[in-house]
With several copies, the nearest count.
Chain A
């Protein structure tokens, strides 16, 4: 039985790619891991609104709900010592790359046990150990960073590739162009992964992009441009996998456009005055979790084991929230000048 998608959505989303077959190199274990990660990210970011409303976090946060296939598909194709750079909508990237949800949640709570000791918050979570070079609050700014990491890999003879996640909005930044140009010219092991979710806050991409089909811009850098279904973790996996192989073989960067729809608000308490949020809901038909679940069941995975995974994800997030809420501490004033300069030098 194929997964059902309405004609309306299929028409609006021509890059739809059915989830018929898992990529050959993904074991069932891998697939189950992916399913867990999809759920873990969803659970994690579904908590945000509640936390924000209850004043548990300090600033604001952006939910990755609906985008999970991209981070999970991409990071599944990476090794631990590969790098990623992330965005303001970064929890999914961090978790998919191996981040610890206790530490992400603690950071969102502004706790000293958080990844950034409470100094970064939702928009800046980093874990260099896991190759997570950090989220960035400045749209587009991490592009060059990613290229720098890829440059390091070459000079230091590491086999790492770097995946640079960014939104459609980020593709309008100058540094997007500068970065891809240099990476393309020097054939650096970096993958530019555009999460084209059609929106940048309240602005539709087609209103501000001369060429909204991002993958076509690859011609301008003489590199491959790939369009993929951003709601489909297998599709993203395949695209990133082949780009990573290319990169490791010294053939240079790839521009991957993972297309999807930002179904949720821009940030956790977005009133979406600029569009009708109700009209977005049909897009949940493409929910990567539902699609993957359908695929796994079709492929004889017992529903019960999937439910177990779902429950585990839920519990892990509850645990993370409980941890952040009750077992963690606010940073003390004496940490204020710590971490500014190397060796905590004070200037």
Chain B
């Protein structure tokens, strides 16, 4: 069955809402409008407004409501329409959702999923294009996932909803129309497992979300030059599957880590540092990182396209990894 990411999300939520009557959605325009990206279409009608709640523009408040609801028996899904605005809910997420179980000696449960569309590329400028996954990677108590293909999106979103921990689920804003096969039966994909989506022996490219698509493109063109890249789609960022990366690195001895978020302080740094810790001897060349440039996302496409990593830049990084 071939469906879009949009459909995959909609299906995942609908199936989980049918499966578990405690699953409840909160967010701006998730109900009547069916979501700004139409991912929650039809759910209000099917489940009613107590389970599909259109909220006011109160990100801190409705995230906090999700947290309180999670602590008292519901299994909420909170949508932060653009991840840029998750900044408004940072206190609730970082100081309460992530810490409540621990601070309370394990006496409270926090089955909360926060969906946060992220990424740029469509001219929406500095306040509508960001990628903040690295922040959440730094917060013990959270899980963070960012799959890109419909099968993974659906299976991981279902796992996130069923998970008893707070999970931040990043979906790329430009991915909603991306199509792919999904199993027709009920399935989940475990949080914390990466996937080798292309085999190769020369260089390992590690990436997630939209950059996986670009990494694949780069790999295809490099293949024509005789360079075989192994491409790993991390899918989950916290926990992160270092085993799969290191297995690949053992074979290729060269690694390029790619993400859209700006490079400084991004996930790639953490991955590179961890690889140095765990597999320094496998490295035949310095680990390479490709990330967004360290500027806010500019409005005009001519500049924006310079900020977001291109296939070309990924290729260059691969050459660099190979040239020494």
A residues engaging B (CB < 8 A)? 57-60, 83, 85, 107, 110-111, 114-121, 123-124, 126-128, 133-134, 136-141, 143-156, 169-170, 172-175, 178-179, 181-182, 185-186, 200-203, 207-209, 273-274, 330-331, 333, 335-345, 347
Does B250 have its Cβ within 8 Å of any Cβ on chain A? no
Nearest-Cβ distance from residue B160 to partner chain A, whole angstroms: 13
Task: Tell me whether A179 and B29 are in contact in the complex, defined as CB-CB below 8 angstroms, given that A58-B301, A128-B108 are known contacts.
Answer: no
Q: Which of B3-44 contact A (CB under 8 A)?
A: 22, 24, 28-29, 32-34, 36
Contact of A138 among B34, B55, B95, B124 (CB under 8 A): B95
Task: List, in ascending order, chain A residues with CB within 8 A of B76's CB.
Answer: 148
In the complex, A290→B121 CA distance in Å? 40
Shortest B176–chain A CB gap in Å is 15
What is the distance, in angstroms, from A189's C-beta to the closest C-beta of chain B? 12
Q: Hey, which chain A residues are within 8 Å of B192, CB to CB?
A: 347
Chain B interface residues toward A at CB < 8 A: 22, 24, 28-29, 32-34, 36, 50-51, 53-58, 60-74, 76, 84-85, 88, 91-92, 95-96, 100-110, 122-128, 140-141, 143, 163-165, 192, 238-239, 293-296, 298-304, 306-307
A124 contacts which chain B residues (CB < 8 A)?
Answer: 103-104, 125-127, 299
In the bound assembly, the distance between CA atoms of A114 and B74 in angstroms comes to 27
CB-defined contacts of B63 to chain A, threshold 8 Å: 144
In the complex, chain B residues whose CB is within 8 Å of the CB of A119? 102-105, 125-126, 296, 298-300, 303
Contact A151/B299 with A118-B105, A341-B165 known, Cβ cut-off 8 Å: no
The answer for the CA separation of A130 and B63 in the assembled complex, in Å, is 24
Given contacts A121-B123, A169-B57, contact A151 B65 (CB under 8 A): yes
**A-B pairs with lowest CB-CB distance, top 4:** A148-B68, A144-B64, A58-B123, A178-B61
Distance A107 CA – B107 CA, assembled complex (angstroms): 14
A277-B5 Cα distance, complex, nearest whole Å: 29
Contact (Cβ within 8 A) B58 A172: yes
Given A58-B304, A59-B123, A172-B58, answer yes or no on A341-B141 (Cβ-Cβ < 8 Å): yes
CB atoms of A118 and B141 under 8 A apart:
no
- Find chain B residues with CB under 8 A from A200 CB: 28, 56-57
Write out the residue numbers on chain B whose beta carbons fall within 8 Å of the beta carbon of A154.
50
Q: Is A347 a contact partner of B61 (Cβ separation < 8 A)? A: no
Hey, which chain B residues are within 8 Å of A139, CB to CB?
57
Of the candidates B95, B103, B109, B304, which one forms a contact with A342 in the assembled complex, judged by CB atoms under 8 Å apart? B109
Residues of B within 8 A of A153 (CB): 72
Contact B69 A336 (CB under 8 A): no
The answer to whether A340 and B295 touch (CB under 8 A), given A58-B304, A59-B124, is: yes
Q: Which of B51, B62, B73 has the most CB of A within 10 A?
A: B62
Q: How far is the CA of A186 from the CA of B55 in the complex (A)?
A: 10
Docked-complex contact B105 and A336, CB < 8 angstroms: no
**Assembled-state Cα–Cα distance A141/B90 (Å):** 11
Complex: chain B residue closest to A60, CB-CB:
B124
**In the complex, what distance in Å separates the CA atom of A154 from the CA atom of B49?**
12
For the complex, would chain B's binding face be called helix, strand, loop or mixed by DSSP majority?
loop
Q: How far is the CA of A101 from the CA of B143 in the complex (A)?
A: 35
What's the minimum C-beta distance from A83 to chain B, rounded to whole angstroms?
A: 7
Interchain CB contact under 8 A, A335 and B303: yes
The answer to whether residues A111 and B69 also contact, given A116-B104, A144-B61, A347-B294 and a CB cut-off of 8 A, is no
Complex-state Cα separation, A57 to B299, whole angstroms: 9
Q: Which residue of A lies closest to B294 (CB)?
A: A347
What is the bound-complex CA distance between A248 and B318, given in angstroms? 63
Q: Which residue of A lies closest to B307 (CB)?
A: A336
Among B122, B165, B307, which residue has the most Cβ atoms of chain A within 10 A? B165
User: With contacts A119-B105, A119-B296, A178-B56 known, what are 15 further pairs, Cβ within 8 A?
Assistant: A58-B125, A119-B103, A140-B57, A143-B64, A144-B64, A148-B70, A151-B68, A173-B58, A174-B58, A200-B28, A200-B57, A273-B34, A340-B102, A347-B239, A347-B294
**Residues of chain A within 8 A of B107, CB atoms compared:** 115-116, 126-128
Chain A residue contacts of B33, Cβ below 8 A? 201-203, 273-274
